[in-house]
A and B are shown apart, each in its own frame.
Chain A
Amino acid sequence: MSSFVVDKKGIKRYAVTIGVNGSEYTKVIKANTLLVNFLREDLDLTGTKRGCELGDCGCCTVMMDGKPVNSCLVLAMDCDGHEITTAEGIQDGEDLDIVQEKFVEHAAFQCGFCTSGMIVSSRALLNENPNPTDHDVREAIAGNLCRCTGYVNIVAAVLDAAKEL
């Protein structure tokens, strides 16, 4: 069990160590901290977006131990000892990842709000299956809602990225 301190109001704050994009962060947080808020507010990683906040839209998608999850439904406490990858972590240093490059090339976004989540879901798919079909891509991003594009360019971008892996 992680160690904790109790504040004046009697609320416990717990020490957690969470791996994010290859670095380990030890922070003292309240138990009710959601992963999405931990990333955005404690680590200033605002690439992960808050959308519906109910697990429907996928804007907040991050990888937890390599698997895409909705960070709005995961307690940061439950990530203690786990590895999180956000949209920022997919980028390869200063260079864009091939999936990000192809999103730009195919204009696979308009407003861009769903893009971080789309890219995390797409990258997770390609890590597991480097030769996806059109259907595989659509299944993988079925939990990422885009209200602008109609998905056609997104699917094309992911399939194109797969060719250059």
Chain B
Amino acid sequence: MYLPDFEYYAPESVAEACQLLAQFGEKAKVLAGGTDMVVKMKNELLAPEVVVSVKNLEQLKKVEYVAGKGVSVGALCTHNDLVKSDVLKEKFASVANAARQMANNQVRNRGTIAGNIVSAVPSADLPPVLIALNATAKLVGAKGERTLAMEDVFAGPGKTVLANDEVLTEIFIPEQKMTGSNYIKFGLRKSGALAVVGVAVAVQVENGVIKDARVALGAVAATPVRAKKTEEFLKGKKVTDDVLAEAGVIASGECKPISDIRASAEYRTDLVRIFTKRALRKAVDEGHV
């Protein structure tokens, strides 16, 4: 399989990348790991006339702990960078675990966190857990920068709110009051499978009572979604099996999945019920985010 012709630029700075994107507008596409974009180009779903490769932006390849504030993840960290990051393993193990469940080793070595977000595939593994942990995305454009809540980045399947000249440069996961978090992916195989359903939860439990909760669902709507009714239901409740089971029922009522080659809508809805309950139980029992 061969790709159609395009022009290629490899800017040395984010500012230069934004300039190129502003200059070429709709014709240009940013290329990071390519594990999604090159496939789309081969399938003729994308045909950029200009490819702006971010290969030289070394400054976006770091995971750093900012004392008292949280963890900054450079947009070009690959999934395996996240899996192997000591900072993430210590502070946000659930994010490293979600990254480990993506595709296979070869894809994890190339596919970046920014690509996983910006390609806006509804079944992507990282967005639900990042939403549950209240992460933010920093977008830098030719005219300035802005920071959005992770859940506000997505506009639909394959669509984000990024302007033509904007690049995602950093994902920031704030220091948590949450005492536990977890992401459960259900795929049809252990490796190399898209999520049929992905459920991420974060809970703050004190003396057996849920003070705060965030629940994010993947692969059951056009974008990753918060299950806000489920979150409201959980707040102030004691942790019991019945409460967690009831939360699962509410979450399954909040999702709007489609039927496709991987699963029917009914099956996905029922999986949300089960996995919300299990993810909550794990987040409570494991006691770390």
Q: Interface 1/0s, chain A 95-124, versus B by CB < 8 A?
A: 000000000000000000000000001000
Does A1 contact B10, Cβ atoms closer than 8 Å? yes
Contact for B10 among A74, A77, A143, CB less than 8 A: A77
A78 to nearest B CB, angstroms? Answer: 5
Classify chain B: how many residues form its interface, as a range.
Answer: 20 to 34
A80 partner residues in chain B, CB cutoff 8 A: 10, 55
Q: With A54-B42, A78-B55 known to touch, is A143 a contact of B5 (CB < 8 Å)? A: no
A115 to nearest B CB, angstroms? Answer: 16
Is A18 close to B, CB under 8 A?
no
A28 to nearest B CB, angstroms? Answer: 13
Q: With A54-B39, A73-B35 known to touch, is A143 a contact of B3 (CB < 8 Å)? A: no
With an 8 Å Cβ cutoff, the count of chain A residues facing the other chain is 34
Is A48 close to B, CB under 8 A?
no
Is B53 close to A, CB under 8 A?
yes
Is B34 close to A, CB under 8 A?
yes
B187 to nearest A CB, angstroms? Answer: 12
Contact for A72 among B1, B4, B105, CB less than 8 A: B1
Does A31 contact B51, Cβ atoms closer than 8 Å? yes
Is B44 close to A, CB under 8 A?
no
A54 to nearest B CB, angstroms? Answer: 5
Contact for A31 among B5, B55, B104, B190, CB less than 8 A: B5
Closest residue on chain A to residue B55 by CB atoms: A78
Give me 17 other A-B pairs in contact (C-beta within 8 A), A14-B8, A78-B34, A142-B105 excluded. Answer: A31-B7, A32-B6, A34-B2, A34-B38, A54-B43, A55-B106, A61-B106, A64-B110, A67-B80, A67-B109, A70-B35, A75-B51, A77-B53, A78-B31, A80-B10, A139-B105, A139-B191
